[in-house]
A and B are shown apart, each in its own frame.
Chain A
Amino acid sequence: MDFVLDRAQGEFGRTLDRMLGGAGTARTVRAWGRGDHGPGRALWERLGGLGVTALAVPEAYDGVGPLPVELAVAYVESGRHAVPGPLAETAAVAVLLTALAEGDHPRAAAAARHWLPRIASGRALVTLAAADGGPYALDADAADAVFTVAGEELWLAPGHGPVQRSSDPARRLARPRPGGEPLAHGPAVAPAVERAADWAAFATAALSLGTGLALLERTVAYVKGRRQFGRAVGSFQAVKHRLADVLIGLEFARPLLFGAAVALASDTPGRRAEVAAAKVAAGEAGYAAARAALQLHGAIGYTDEFDLSLWIRRAHALRSAWGTPSVCRARVLAG
C-alpha cells in the first residue's frame, strides 16, 4: 500500500500550477464567457503540450492513459486556476469511445481513431450530453464534436441548439441537435456510458476540489490584509474558525478523490460508490469554500468584476454537474 503521490506526480502538479499561474487565466475565462474561445483554445493546447489532455486517452490512440491519479492532479490544478472548457466531458468521451471501440461497433471505432489522437494532443475539444449529466452539452459552441447518448444509442450530433446562459458565464450550455451520425447501439452502450459518466463525475470532483482550494487561498490572503476596527479581520475567531472548517472539508475530500482514482485505475466493483463519495465530498467542500469566500470578502466578493466571482460561480455549478449531491449519496448507499 502506498497512498501518496510519487515524486513525478507531485512535480507534474507543481509544473501545471506554475504554467497556469502565469497564463492569466482570469482574462481567458472572461473571454470564454463572451463566446471568444481563442485564448481558451490556446490554453488547452498548452495543457496538451504538458500531457494533460492525453491522460484519459490510451496509448493506442496516441495518449498516455488511462491515468486517473495524474488526471486528478491535473484537474485539481485546472480547477484551481479556473481553466475554461469541457474538461470533464472530453475525458468522458475518451473513455466512452475507447470502451465502445473495443466491442463490435465499427463506427465508434472509427470515431475513436479520428477523435482520440486529436483530444490527446489538445487540438480537439469535444463534449457530451448523457442522462447522468442532464440534457445539455457543456460548451457545445466551442466544441469540435458534440456526442450524445439517447437510451442505448450513441450519436455524433449534427450541432447544437441555442446557448443557455449558466450562472457561471464560463459554462455555456446547449442541447445537442437530434439526429446526426449513429456511432453505436445495443446493450454494450449502457455500461460504457456508465463508465464514462463515472469519469466525468470524478473529473468534476477534481475541478471542485481545485476550485475550493483557490477560494480558500484567496480568502486567507484577503482576510490577512483587510483591516477593520484597527486589526486584520483574519484575527477574529469567527473568521478563523470558518476558514478552518473550509480547510477540513477540502483536506478530507482529497483522499476520497484519490481513492476514486485508485478505484478507476483498477476498475474495482466499488468504483461507482467511490466516485460518488468523492463527488459529494469535493462538491460540498468546494461549495462551502465559495460560501465562506463570499461571506468573508464582504461586498467585494459579490462583485462581478472582482475575479473571485469566477471561482464562486463555478463552485456552485460543479456541485450539481454530473451527479447532484443527492444522486451521488444514493449511489454511495447502492454500493
Chain B
Amino acid sequence: MDLELGERQRAFRDEARRWLTAHVPAVLPPSLETAEGFAAHRAWERTLAGGRWSAVTWPEEYGGRGASLVEWLLFEEEYYAAGAPGRVSQNGISLLAPTLLAHGTAAQRARILPPMARGEVIWAQAWSEPESGSDLASLRSTARRADGGWLLTGQKTWSSRAAFADRAFGLFRSHREEGAPPHRGLTYLMFPLDAPGVTVRPIGRLDGKPAFAELFLDEVFVPDEDVIGEPGQGWRVAMSTAGDERGLTLRSPGRFTAAARRLVALWRERSAESGGGGAGLDGALRDRVADAVIGARAYELFAYASATRPDPGGTGAATGAESSLNKVFWSELDIALHETALDLLGPFAELADDAPEAAGGGAWADGYTFALAGPVYAGTNEIQRDLIAERVLGLPRDRR
C-alpha cells in the first residue's frame, strides 16, 4: 500500500500543472449562471480542449487522453489548486458522455463527443418533472413514434444549465403497458433546446441566478439517431449514468482539498487580525476548520482507494452503493466547509457574491449557494441513505 506517484503519473501531473499555470486566467470570469459568465466559461472550455485537458479520461479519438481514474484525480487536484474556472460542460462530460461510451453507437460517439469536448455544444439535463423528482420513474413526458423518429411532449423542470445551453438529454415515456412497473417503457433521448416546439423558461436559483430552467415540449421531433440504447430501455441506460453521477466524477476531491486549503488560509488571516494564534477566535471555529481539512483528506483518500481497487469502473451493486456513500459525504462536507468560512467572515458573510466588497471575490458566497443544492440533486441524501441502508446494510426495503 502506498501513495507514491509512478513515473507516468508524475509526468502527467507535471504536464497538467505547467499547462494550467500558463493558461488559467488571473481574473476569474463572472458566475457561469449568468449570460456573460456562461459565454466566458464556454470560451474557457475551448481553451482547455486546445490543450486536450477538457475530458482527460476519454479515448484520444474523441479529444481525451485515455487517462486513468488516478490520473483524472491528479488532474482535478491541479485544476482546483490552480484556481481554474468552474466547468460549464460538467453535465455533458460527467453524465451524458459516460452513457454514450457505455450505450451509444460509434456514430453517436463520433458525432457528439468531440464538439462536447471543445465546448461548442453545452448540454443540459432534462430529468425532473413537476410531479417527478426523487420518484423519477413516475415521469409523464412522452415520446410518440413518428416517421424516422419521435415526437416529445410534456414538461421538464430544474434543468441545470438549460437557460443558456444548446442541447439536452433525458427520459421520456414511450411505451405503455398495463400493470407494468413505472420504470418500464422509458426511452433515453437527446434534443436541441432551440428546436421547434421547445420553450425554455429560466428559473432563478436561491440567489436569483438562472442556474436552471423549465422546458415546455410540444411535439418536438427527434430523429432515431438521437435515441441512446434501445427504445423502452431508457431506465437501465439512465441508471448507468446515475451511477456515474453519484460516483467520483460528479465532485472531484480536488475541489474540496483546494477549498479546505483556502479555508485554513482564511482562518489564519482572521486569527491574526483578532489577536494571533487563533486566540481571538473561539475554539469551536478552529475545530470546524480542522474538520473541513480532515473531511477533504478523507474524501481524497477514499477516492484513491476507489481508483486503485481492481475494476474501479465496475457497475456492480458495490460500486453503486459506494457512490451513495460518496454523495452524502461530499455534499455535507461542502456545506459545512462553506458555513465555516462564512462564520469566519462575520459581518461580511451575508454579502452576495457580486457585491463589490464580497470576500474572496465572492467565491465563498457563490460556493455556499452552490453547496446548498448538493444534498438535493443527483438523488437526495434521503434517497441515498435509503440505498445505503437497503443495499449495503441489508435492511428491509419498505419506506415509511
Contact = CB atoms under 8 A, between A and B. Distances in A.
Interface of A: 1-6, 9, 69, 216, 220, 223-224, 231-232, 234-237, 239-241, 243-245, 247-248, 251-253, 255-256, 258-259, 261-262, 266, 274, 277, 280-281, 325-326, 329-330, 332-333
A323 B307 CA distance: 32
B295 to A, nearest CB: 8
Interface stretch (B80-88, B197-205, B387-395): B387-395
B394 A220 contact: yes
The size bracket of the interface on B is: 35 or more
B390 A240 contact: yes
Contacts of A220: 393-395
Contacts of A255: 298, 301-302, 304-305
Contacts of B290: 280, 329-330, 332-333
B262 interface: no
Given A1-B5, A1-B308, A248-B328, A333 B264 contact: yes
B283 interface: yes
B287 interface: yes
Contacts of A69: 1
A19 B67 CA distance: 43
24 contacts: A1-B5, A1-B9, A1-B70, A1-B308, A3-B3, A4-B308, A9-B1, A220-B393, A223-B395, A231-B396, A232-B395, A234-B396, A237-B382, A240-B393, A241-B389, A243-B389, A244-B393, A247-B325, A247-B392, A248-B328, A262-B3, A277-B293, A280-B294, A333-B289
A333 B307 CA distance: 27
A3 B1 contact: yes
Nearest to B294: A277
Interface of B: 1-6, 9, 70, 264, 267, 283, 286-287, 289-291, 293-295, 297-299, 301-302, 304-305, 307-310, 325, 328-329, 382, 384-386, 388-390, 392-400
Contacts of B307: 3
Contacts of A216: 393
Given A329-B287, A332-B293, A258 B389 contact: no
Nearest to A270: B297
Given A258-B1, A259-B301, A235 B395 contact: yes
Given A247-B388, A251-B325, 6 more contacts: A3-B307, A231-B398, A255-B302, A256-B298, A259-B297, A330-B290
Nearest to A277: B294
B287 A2 contact: no
A314 B69 CA distance: 39
A326 B386 CA distance: 32
A324 B202 CA distance: 50
